[in-house]
Structure 1
Amino acid sequence: MTFEHLFTPVTVGQHQIRNRVFMSSATLMFSNDGIVTDRHVAYYAERARGGIGLIIPEELEIHPSAAGLPVKWLHGWPDQAVAGFRKLTDAVHAHGASIFAQLDHAGTIHDPAVFDAPGAAMAPSPFGHPGRETPKAMERDEIAEVIEYYARCARNAVEGGFDGIEIHAAHGHLPAQFFSPLSNFRTDEYGGSFENRMRFMLEALEAVRGAVPHGFPVGVRISLHEFAPGGLDLEGTIEVAKAIQAAGVDFFDLSAGRPPYSYQRSIPTADQQPAAHLRDMAAQFRAEVPGTPTFLIGRVVDPKVAEDVLAKGQADMVGMMRAHVADPEIINKTKQGRADEVRYCVSCNQECFARVASGRPIACIQNPATGRELTLAMSRLRRAEKAKRVIVVGGGPAGMEAAWIAAARGHDVELYEAAGELGGQVRWHAKAPDRAEFGNIVENLKNQLRVHGVKVHLGVRLTADDLVEAGADVTIVATGSKPRVRDAFAEWRPDLPHLPGFDTADLYTSWDVMSGERPISGRVVVLDGDGRHEGAAVAEKLAALGVELHVVTPFPQFAPGLVPSLEFASSLGRVLRGGTSISTTSLPTAVEGRTVRFLQTATGEESVIEDVDAVVVLGGKVPDEDLYFAVLDRLPEVHRIGDCVQPRRIAQAMYQGHKIAREI
């Protein structure tokens, strides 16, 4: 495919950007005191080195009242922040990319009770973010002070070397809290009429404009549609944008949604929205608000989709933030005809959004270097001093990652997988309804194995004697884990590790369900001690098959592990669509023939489900470690990684495989 539009420059204000791809702002959780760190610099420099046109780094909080979790988020107002800004912008400029600052105040979203911040949450009206403290309605002097802080931060951004500024007015942040009828009930000059509701936004824009040089790009991030009851729809947003345009603005950065009502619009997972899901609304916006460049985000993870958006005139720049979390080099690889080397983002949110939302540094489910650029950036990968012969046993994510990284360092690598295909347990998850895109983790790794010349042997189960005879310099055992069945609920009932009936019942595992190797129908009970993606995938698959499904889980809700990544609501919807019953805070006590008994721990009452045709048990896994111990003392250098060490999440397994391959 030719990229006639993607790699052409674009001018915003009086600043030229080298191509049409940008990274929208996303919190990293790297800071210790609100100041840019070396970790920030390394993270963004790696993406600038990878060929992106524009970086809008994580938001700069503009005022102490916006600075919840002060040790994590960057602050824009302190004079001492400028030196860090300059270090960051110099690093980005050194690789030819542009960098704009985002000025942000989230108003009531920054709940002091949640973010351990001093002072009161402030908003135009005492209308809070659901589930958080009711905010204090801002007084006139507080409004004036916040407006002045916008200007103060803008001056710091200019002095710090940024090429432009974006005011965050999307996702229900403070400016949107003023101009959206959903949250502004004031009766003074900042509320009531449309003109009054726009006053705060326009005063902030004027303050920023007055603090920067002539021609310096100033834009506004805005939600095309809030997708919230009583909030702005596209028509209302266009009216807001026209008022902003009349006041003077150099670009609009178009997003959508207003948390918590519509996370699935602002940062959707692959099962929630198609790629570039905002493109049609963006096209209508451009038609109604012509003459001002538009940036567009919306789950664009493939440069081919970005090119199509640009070719159709739906935007002037396309945001690929999560794509760059997964692969900082995606633009250079695409431009150089190396698309088969790209780690394409699978939009799962499991290690990027979910970690940040819980106060931990950003990471990526399939790129161990993300957030660890100071030590693991691919630009830091060095060839081994001495090439070795390496055998990797096991073709799951950990084994595949170890194999290609070792090969990239110059080792002679062979990978053996007992099954007929690569991917390990990721294959099962990708077979859940609407989760096919998750399988790209495996495809990305398979491409890297091929590109780096790893010799792959499928359908070969090696024994300890085979490995001794092979005599490799280094053996990496990545044989994964096996489901716990008979003692599946031992961790919940340590006094009774083998529940009555579990030793004799014909129980199904998650693998049985997801592989389709064992037919299942009728009335099915899932005993879910997992509470995460595996349990959810099994329930979704069974609901799609049309069985009469009953889920019994000791957790207080179905699949609580999906809440941080914003996957919970869509997963629950698929499970409930077929009339599934879910019993929470319920601990299995016995399987007696076709009867399942469980205890509702909240009430102490026992319940039964009768005439059951199949019971599926999810209660964790145990390492498949026999091969490792059989060769440990018979070979010169042996390592084990991934689930073979302990059952773990994909990200942790791949990180371990990556680290071992860098060290041998």
Structure 2
Amino acid sequence: MANKYPMLFTEFDVGPVTLPNRIYHAPVTLNYLDRATGYPTEALAYYYAERARGGVGLIIQGAVDVHPASEYWPVPHSRLYEEGSIPSFTRITNMVHDAGAKIFIELFHVGQASNVRNYGAASLGPSSVPSMVAGTTPKSMELDDIEEVISAFEVTTKNAVAAGYDGIELHASHGYLLEQFLSPYYNRRTDEYGGSLDNRMRMLLETLERCRKIAGEGIAFGVRLVADELLPGGLTLEDTLEISERLADDGMLDFLDIDLGSHQNYHVTMSPMYGAPGYNLPYSAAIRDAVDPLPVLCAPGRLVDPGEAERALAEGQADMVGLGRALISDPLWVQKTRDGREDSIRQCVFCNQYTMGNLYKGLPVGCIQNPVTGREATRGAHSLVSVTQKKKVIVIGGGPAGMEVARLASQRGHDVSLYEKEEELGGQVLLAAMLPGRDAIGGVVRWQKQQLEKAGVETNLGCELLLDQVTDLGADAVIVATGASYMSSGMSAMVPMPMPGSDIPGMVVTPESVLRGECEPGSIVVVLDSDGHVTPSGIAELLASRGHQVTIISAAPVIGDKLVDEMNMPYVYGRLADQNVEMLSNTWAGELRDGEIDIFNVYAPEKLRTLKVNTVVMAAARKTHEGLYHELKLRMDEVHRVGDCISPGDIGTATLSADTLARAL
């Protein structure tokens, strides 16, 4: 079906490198490295090789440090400036090449965003402009510092060539050092490296010229360039058009890779589901017009539909289309598109929970839908082996964990039947998709439903099995996936005991009862948030949009503390402000009375206030529905549980537990 996408599936030359198609894995940081050495682990090699086997034509490996002063806490980056790192990187290139793809690598220095705890010296920047990321003020680089950093880029380029990379990309976007020199926002110098555009480009051009010479003619060389910093006084598209034209005219580049934004607006550059898709394309289109015929690469942003990728190429918005999170979610995206199986693509829902959320915790990047991501060495393609002894397997519960374990167990050869008490599969995800701006999360279960049918799982809806009914089915193995739900008692991580007054009839409700329409909240609502994620804030927005007066309260320093790393907070806070939701952090409730709630400052408990309230929504602790599991353990030989029935978690913990059990069943 490649002819359905004539632009996507044509060969394309990037300098001296010929690629089999116009789809590339955008450079993303994955945190698959040895924290002691800074060298990439075999997990990164297996991750990229899986995407190469999945048909992607080019991989641009995420940024690697060129200098010790480029330490970026809490996000670790691999170090390629040490000669001892070369074998670890060679393992990556060999595996990618063996799988049929080409691989470039991105080099960077984070500049004023560097964390100096490990390096033991000041961070570096073109000027002493304080860093919002590092919380420090960098040293304004002296000429010796500039020379040292350019030399470090040269050394790292030499090492990249020795490791077998087909191309090199200099990172001049997202607020890092090469962008900082280009930018009037960061660069306040008055010497030959500051002031005029000619001077502000000098650092990039000198680095490019010297590294290009070391790389040699057989290596593709490019720059990842910020199109617009989206900062007051920063680079605009008009500025970047001039920079792009000058770079193209200098003749040292084989490509430009266009991106958007700086540190202060990562929520735009890595937009979650609240943002509009394709946000990078208008910028890449303008730059492509300016530098044609120099190839322009662009990851459009939130792209999942192959048709949109084809359209971007056909309309001249880019010469190659990059995918990041879409390939984290489904390594076979390209292969499925080429084979006409687009409907089987496990589409990214852009929740950012295990991508950006893990990244900024310093954890390995993963995917809530795809537990194999980051575990390709042991769970990659073709690792799911057929069973030697077929079993009759009953799965009770049709949420993400139940569907995933049923699908995989059936694919391995077991005879699987799934029973769900509701009339629709999906469990808590169906409710999550009802929150404002969160409908995309429903894509998780849409894909699972389709795959259940393809796997031949017998699905029984509207069927709540009781103990005797389960035992009468004569199963060899039973898997309980009955989930968890919010408790109305008010027990929370802040106060692990029932809240006084939580048993007042009709006063306390749960998020589930609100979303199912099982209650009618009063005019004044308080949402107690001990969850920290999107559910409490989503409930607050939903009720406020219906005309309720809503206050959301959390003991955490900020409302929705888990929203920060996932880039959701700017969107959520804006939406809450639009609905006039009052937010009280560092605060918790002590007692409920009819029509009132006592609240206190968690750091000064004697500071009490009383609020008028008709309804309290308890978004605090959740309780597993494990009763049936324990009953079955007393009656049957083989009983398992997965997902929230083990312990309340998220979609990612649910699918991981399901994947682990299905492989061992």
Range class of TM-score, shorter chain: over 0.9
**C-alpha deviations, 1:631-656, integer Å up to 9, x for none?**
11222211011111111121111100
Aligned pair partner of 1:335 in 338, 344, 361: 338
Listed as ranges, the gaps of 5+ residues in structure 2 are none
Shift of 1:623: 0.7
One-letter amino acid of the counterpart of residue 199, structure 2: N
Q: 1:491 to 1:264 in 2, by over 3 A?
A: closer
Scaled by the length of structure 2, the TM-score of the pair is 0.96
Tell me what 2:445 maps to: 442
Shift of 1:490: 5.1
Shift of 1:552: 2.1
Tell me what 1:325 maps to: 328
Counterpart-to-counterpart distance in 1, 2:173 and 2:365: 22
Segment drifting more, 48-57 vs 509-518: 509-518
Check conservation: 1:471, 1:635, Cα contact below 8 A: no
User: What SS does the corresponding residue of 2:24 show, helix, strand or coil?
Assistant: strand
Segment drifting more, 167-176 vs 84-93: 84-93
Q: 1:64 to 1:597 in 2, by over 3 A?
A: same
Shift of 1:71: 10
One-letter amino acid of the counterpart of residue 506, structure 1: M
Shift of 1:23: 1.1
User: What SS does the corresponding residue of 1:379 show, helix, strand or coil?
Assistant: coil
Aligned pair partner of 1:143 in 146, 164, 186: 146
Counterpart-to-counterpart distance in 2, 1:579 and 1:497: 30
One-letter amino acid of the counterpart of residue 607, structure 2: E
Map 1:45-124 → 2, pairs under 5 A: 45-68=49-72, 72-113=76-117, 116-124=118-126
1:348 partnered with 2:351: yes
Counterpart-to-counterpart distance in 1, 2:8 and 2:584: 51
Check conservation: 2:66, 2:152, Cα contact below 8 A: yes
**C-alpha deviations, 1:106-128, integer Å up to 9, x for none?**
10112214xx3332211111113
Counterpart-to-counterpart distance in 1, 2:492 and 2:199: 62
Counterpart-to-counterpart distance in 1, 2:79 and 2:377: 22
User: What SS does the corresponding residue of 1:77 show, helix, strand or coil?
Assistant: coil
Counterpart-to-counterpart distance in 2, 1:558 and 1:151: 45
Segment drifting more, 549-558 vs 313-322: 549-558
Tell me what 1:613 maps to: 614
Check conservation: 1:505, 1:591, Cα contact below 8 A: no
1:3 partnered with 2:5: yes
Counterpart-to-counterpart distance in 1, 2:502 and 2:10: 67
1:407 partnered with 2:410: yes
User: What SS does the corresponding residue of 1:177 show, helix, strand or coil?
Assistant: helix
Map 1:424-435 → 2, pairs under 5 A: 424-435=427-438
Shift of 1:58: 2.1
Tell me what 1:645 maps to: 646
Aligned pair partner of 1:290 in 292, 299, 310: 292
Shift of 1:536: 2.0
User: What SS does the corresponding residue of 2:61 show, helix, strand or coil?
Assistant: coil
Counterpart-to-counterpart distance in 1, 2:26 and 2:493: 43
Q: Tell me the number of residue pairs that the alignment of Structure 1 and Structure 2 aligns.
A: 657
Tell me what 1:562 maps to: 563
Calculate the aligned-residue CA RMSD, in Å. 1.7
Q: 1:74 to 1:501 in 2, by over 3 A?
A: closer
Counterpart-to-counterpart distance in 2, 1:588 and 1:73: 42
Check conservation: 1:324, 1:330, Cα contact below 8 A: yes
Q: 1:492 to 1:159 in 2, by over 3 A?
A: closer
**C-alpha deviations, 1:430-480, integer Å up to 9, x for none?**
111111111101111112111111111111000111110111111100000
Counterpart-to-counterpart distance in 2, 1:69 and 1:384: 45
Tell me what 1:489 maps to: 491
One-letter amino acid of the counterpart of residue 252, structure 1: L
Map 1:247-262 → 2, pairs under 5 A: 247=250, 248-259=252-263, 261-262=264-265
Q: 1:117 to 1:450 in 2, by over 3 A?
A: farther
Shift of 1:242: 1.5
Aligned pair partner of 2:279 in 277, 287, 290: 277
Check conservation: 2:26, 2:324, Cα contact below 8 A: yes
Shift of 1:630: 1.3
Tell me what 1:38 maps to: 42
Check conservation: 1:34, 1:71, Cα contact below 8 A: no
**C-alpha deviations, 1:575-597, integer Å up to 9, x for none?**
12121112222221222211222
Check conservation: 2:504, 2:593, Cα contact below 8 A: no
Counterpart-to-counterpart distance in 1, 2:228 and 2:112: 20
1:265 partnered with 2:268: yes
Check conservation: 1:241, 1:289, Cα contact below 8 A: yes
Counterpart-to-counterpart distance in 1, 2:522 and 2:538: 17
1:571 partnered with 2:575: no
Counterpart-to-counterpart distance in 1, 2:365 and 2:294: 33
Counterpart-to-counterpart distance in 1, 2:486 and 2:120: 47
Tell me what 2:380 maps to: 377
Shift of 1:491: 4.1
1:364 partnered with 2:367: yes
Q: 1:179 to 1:498 in 2, by over 3 A?
A: closer
Map 1:384-403 → 2, pairs under 5 A: 384-403=387-406
Tell me what 2:21 maps to: 19
Counterpart-to-counterpart distance in 1, 2:74 and 2:644: 36
Counterpart-to-counterpart distance in 2, 1:172 and 1:564: 17
Counterpart-to-counterpart distance in 2, 1:515 and 1:41: 45
Q: 1:400 to 1:117 in 2, by over 3 A?
A: farther
Counterpart-to-counterpart distance in 1, 2:657 and 2:89: 33
Shift of 1:521: 5.0
Scaled by the length of structure 1, the TM-score of the pair is 0.96
Counterpart-to-counterpart distance in 1, 2:404 and 2:162: 42
Counterpart-to-counterpart distance in 1, 2:486 and 2:216: 63
User: What SS does the corresponding residue of 1:56 show, helix, strand or coil?
Assistant: strand
One-letter amino acid of the counterpart of residue 236, structure 2: D
**C-alpha deviations, 1:395-453, integer Å up to 9, x for none?**
11111111111111111111111111111111111111111111101111112111111
Counterpart-to-counterpart distance in 1, 2:75 and 2:319: 36
One-letter amino acid of the counterpart of residue 411, structure 1: H
Q: 1:161 to 1:401 in 2, by over 3 A?
A: same
Tell me what 1:529 maps to: 530
Check conservation: 1:390, 1:413, Cα contact below 8 A: yes
Counterpart-to-counterpart distance in 1, 2:445 and 2:86: 43
Segment drifting more, 31-40 vs 352-361: 31-40
**C-alpha deviations, 1:123-154, integer Å up to 9, x for none?**
11111321511011111111112112212211
Tell me what 1:219 maps to: 222
One-letter amino acid of the counterpart of residue 19, structure 1: N
Map 1:501-512 → 2, pairs under 5 A: 501-512=502-513
User: What SS does the corresponding residue of 1:112 show, helix, strand or coil?
Assistant: coil
One-letter amino acid of the counterpart of residue 446, structure 2: E
One-letter amino acid of the counterpart of residue 48, structure 1: A
**C-alpha deviations, 1:42-84, integer Å up to 9, x for none?**
1111111111111111212111211346994211221222222
Counterpart-to-counterpart distance in 1, 2:304 and 2:119: 35
Counterpart-to-counterpart distance in 1, 2:70 and 2:587: 41
Tell me what 2:233 maps to: 230
Counterpart-to-counterpart distance in 2, 1:195 and 1:181: 12
Q: 1:625 to 1:344 in 2, by over 3 A?
A: same
Q: 1:347 to 1:71 in 2, by over 3 A?
A: closer
One-letter amino acid of the counterpart of residue 422, structure 1: L
**C-alpha deviations, 1:227-251, integer Å up to 9, x for none?**
1121111101111112221222111
Tell me what 2:163 maps to: 160
One-letter amino acid of the counterpart of residue 290, structure 1: D
